[in-house]
Chains A and B, each alone.
Chain A
Amino acid sequence: MTPSAADVTVGTVLPPLSVRITRADLVRYAGASLDFNPIHWNDRSAVAVGLPGVIAHGMLTMALAGRVVTDWVGDPGAVVEWGVRFGRPVVVPDDDEGAQLDVTAKVTKIHDDGTVKVLVTATFDGRSVLGGAQARVRLPG
């Protein structure tokens, strides 16, 4: 059910989201985004630059975390702004389970133009992986 501006107040909590990221997801994202940096699919390359192993593309983590907002608003075109700082990497093991990303979000401000600010948190292994992650969303009147 799409929320309308009248239903939303500061403090409104969005339905949370848990997403699994496997190596296959990384390969699919590499192809779709054209980001073929080998640290996202090759352990040898990841270890060579000091990482514990293959990590998810920051941009994939950002896109997946953003689904907490797009799932909520319904119309993905309602997201007028989406920004994050990349904190810790999401290490994706070479198994069928992959890595689990847990995403929560809440409304922290209603702007004068009616758009709402949503603060998003994304954690992996119990630790936050994105900093200052916030979206601005235009809700139907």
Chain B
Amino acid sequence: MPLDPSFIGRSYPPSAPYEVSREKIREFADAVGETSPAHRDPEFARAAGHPDVIAPPTFAIVLSMRAQEIVVSDPALGLDYTRVVHGDQTFVHHRPVRAGDRLVVQLHVDSIITRMGNDLLSLRAEITTEDGEAVSTAKSTLVVRGTDQEAAE
């Protein structure tokens, strides 16, 4: 079943704030093997010109994945999550995410296209501080694999 094309261009209200902690940054850095003290030592981070420890480049996925729930779980979209694979992911950092940030995410549905029997859902999460300072833009494409029958059509 194809995705509902009326979702294209839809934007959702900003999420509740996510407060970034030093410990969450350290935990994430450990999990991806990023060893820089910039993720762990506030003094080191300050000496490098950051107000506090900064997050690894893919940390923003924690926020954008949560924000995506609002659209992927909407029954009206018609998305079968068991058929979804992550197609691509890009982060553009306007500045590094850092401890103490209170971040809100606004999710946009950029496009829905069908290619070779699969639906491609392109989402964009604009991550800003509560005050509206741009922090990161996270774009992802989710691929909804078509059934063999649909592919044959």
Residues of A participating in the B interface, judged by any CB pair closer than 8 Å: 19, 25, 28-29, 31-35, 49, 58-60, 62-64, 66-67, 70, 74-77, 79-86, 132, 135
Complex: A86 Cα to B31 Cα, angstroms: 20
B58 CB, nearest partner CB in chain A, Å: 4
| Chain B interface, DSSP helix/strand/loop, else mixed | mixed
What are 25 A-B interface contacts by the 8 Å CB criterion? A28-B31, A29-B31, A32-B24, A35-B61, A58-B85, A60-B31, A62-B58, A63-B32, A63-B57, A66-B58, A74-B36, A76-B34, A76-B36, A76-B38, A76-B54, A76-B57, A77-B49, A81-B91, A82-B57, A82-B90, A83-B89, A83-B91, A84-B89, A86-B88, A132-B88
Question: Given contacts A63-B34, A67-B32, A86-B88, could you give 9 more A-B pairs where the C-beta distance is less than 8 Å?
Answer: A19-B33, A58-B85, A58-B89, A60-B32, A70-B36, A75-B38, A76-B38, A80-B92, A81-B91
Is B30 an interface residue when CB atoms closer than 8 A count as contact? yes
Is B146 an interface residue when CB atoms closer than 8 A count as contact? no
Asked if A67 and B34 sit within 8 Å, CB to CB, the answer is: yes
Interface residues on B, range: 35 or more
Residues of B participating in the A interface, judged by any CB pair closer than 8 Å: 24, 27-28, 30-34, 36, 38-39, 48-50, 54, 56-58, 61-62, 65-66, 82, 85-93, 95-96, 139
- Enumerate the 8 nearest inter-chain pairs by beta-carbon distance, A residue then B residue, closest first: A83-B90, A32-B31, A63-B32, A77-B96, A85-B88, A63-B58, A79-B57, A58-B86
A9 CB, nearest partner CB in chain B, Å: 23
Asked if A64 and B31 sit within 8 Å, CB to CB, the answer is: no
A94 CB, nearest partner CB in chain B, Å: 19
Asked if A59 and B57 sit within 8 Å, CB to CB, the answer is: no
Complex: A75 Cα to B36 Cα, angstroms: 8
Asked if A81 and B65 sit within 8 Å, CB to CB, the answer is: no
Among A25, A49, A76, residue most surrounded by chain B Cβ atoms (within 10 Å): A76
Residues in chain B near residue A31, CB distance under 8 A:
27, 31
Complex: A90 Cα to B89 Cα, angstroms: 17
Residues in chain B near residue A67, CB distance under 8 A:
32-34
Asked if B86 and A59 sit within 8 Å, CB to CB, the answer is: yes
Report the nearest A residue to B24, measured CB to CB.
Answer: A32
A112 CB, nearest partner CB in chain B, Å: 17
Complex: A110 Cα to B56 Cα, angstroms: 23
Complex: A60 Cα to B31 Cα, angstroms: 9
Complex: A80 Cα to B24 Cα, angstroms: 21
